[in-house]
Structure 1
Amino acid sequence: MAATTMRPEGATTTVAMIDRAGPWTEEEYLALDQTSERVELFDGSLHMTPAPTLRHQNMSAELWLTLRSAARAVGLRALEAINVRLRDARLVIPDVVVIDDIGLDRLVVDAPSVHLIAEITSASNAAADKVFKMHCYAAAKIGRYLIVEQDTKNLRLYRLRGVSYVEHAVVRPGEVLRLTEPVAVDIRPEDLHT
């Protein structure tokens, strides 16, 4: 079964409707067919969002390109939109991650192999990225969390301290975010908006 929905810019898209009540297991989640929507699993419930805008995807690609070489130089990998298991029955698809070089044939990467998660906010998901996902990533002990704000063009880097994140840096256009861990790289907000 499918339904047609309106996107903000007026285009229509077909969204697959899932004729099944939860809770969902991880095995059932991973058996879903691929869709253009991002489907994440949170404690037995599916969370589905339409594919991001072209601007969002361009920013994600620019961030990935910025991190890629620096990650490879220290034996890590930077990847876009992969399945990350934060804990049992909690799988997310972050925009960009820096992970251990654990091989490329996996469907899911476990949280202990993730060194940095980056999310690019948009009007429809800013609250989820800044509150809910931040809490989930901290609970999974992801060391660093980078939020790229589309509206302000700011970068916000958080570092894990104990069981929660503390803001480590806020970088505005014209400034530079200088990472030393998990990779050594400079990130300029305006470079992500090209």
Structure 2
Amino acid sequence: MTAAVFGHDGPWTEEDYLSLDETSQRVELFDGSLHMTPAPTPRHQNISGELRAVLRQPARSAHLRVLEAVNVRLQPGRITIPDLVVTGEIDFDEVYIEAHDVRLVCEIISPGNAATDKVLKMHYYAAAGIEWYLLIEQQNGNLHLYRRHGRHYLEQAVAKVGETLDLTAPVRVRIRPEELLP
């Protein structure tokens, strides 16, 4: 993959991006540029797996799906890989999920990449029309739930260790931050 990235001239198209080989790094497409981050840490993956387990049954009850680390096409030329998404019915054989099929997007904030999740992706997800955004602080487990208002998000709730986040949409579930932490 490294040769393909460094040997590439000009802006990246969706076709260029989708033709890249698999890698341990997360590679996202932002308006003609690639954004690469290292593979997630074990702490990050533990939080992601525990959150998926908490969301799985409530999502199924609502006829929704919970998926980890899938391509989400926000608009032409903008494809992200969120940590988790809750979606409606999708084609499981497509290479990406369209933003309009995503009901909730979750990002686990990595200390070295906080600005991307708190600013850039938050803006992109809201502009793409994704209604709910859940941010999880990797180090302390704090949960921040946002709801879209126009092209921006407003914080709806925060839950710290010892507290509970009550989600009522798109799924009904209570999340306790300490249950997500290793």
Instruction: Flag the structure with higher strand content.
Output: 1
User: How far does residue 103 in structure 1 lie from its aligned partner after superposition?
Assistant: 3.2
Q: Which amino acid aligns with 2:140?
A: T
C-alpha deviation, 1:20, in angstroms: 1.1
2:156 alignment partner, SS class? strand
User: What is the aligned counterpart of 1:22 among 5, 10, 13?
Assistant: 10
Query: Pick from 101, 121, 125: which aligns with 1:113?
Result: 101
Structure 2 distance, partners of 1:126, 1:102, is: 29
Question: Percent identity at matched positions?
Answer: 58
Cα separation, 2, equivalents of 1:131 and 1:19: 30
Partner in structure 2 of residue 85 of structure 1: 73
Normalised TM-score (structure 1) = 0.90
Rounded to whole Å, the distance in 2 between the matches of 1:151 and 1:58 is 12
Deviation at 1:122, TM superposition (A): 1.4
| Matched ranges for 1:22-171 at <5 A | 22-171=10-159
Work out the CA distance in 1 between the residues paired with 2:19 and 2:100: 24
Q: Distance in 2 between matches of 1:193 and 1:149?
A: 10
Question: Which structure is higher in helix share?
Answer: 2
| Distance in 2 of aligned mates of 1:175 and 1:59 | 17
Aligned residues: 182
Unpaired segments ≥5 residues, structure 1: 4-15
How far did residue 22 of structure 1 move?
A: 2.9
Which runs of at least 4 in structure 1 moved beyond 2 Å after TM superposition?
none
Instruction: Tell me the TM-score normalized by structure 2.
Output: 0.96
Q: In structure 2, what is the Cα distance between the partners aligned to 1:36 and 1:56?
A: 14
- Deviations for 1:112-142, whole angstroms, at most 9, x for unmatched residues? 0000000000111111100111011110011
Partner of 1:185: 173
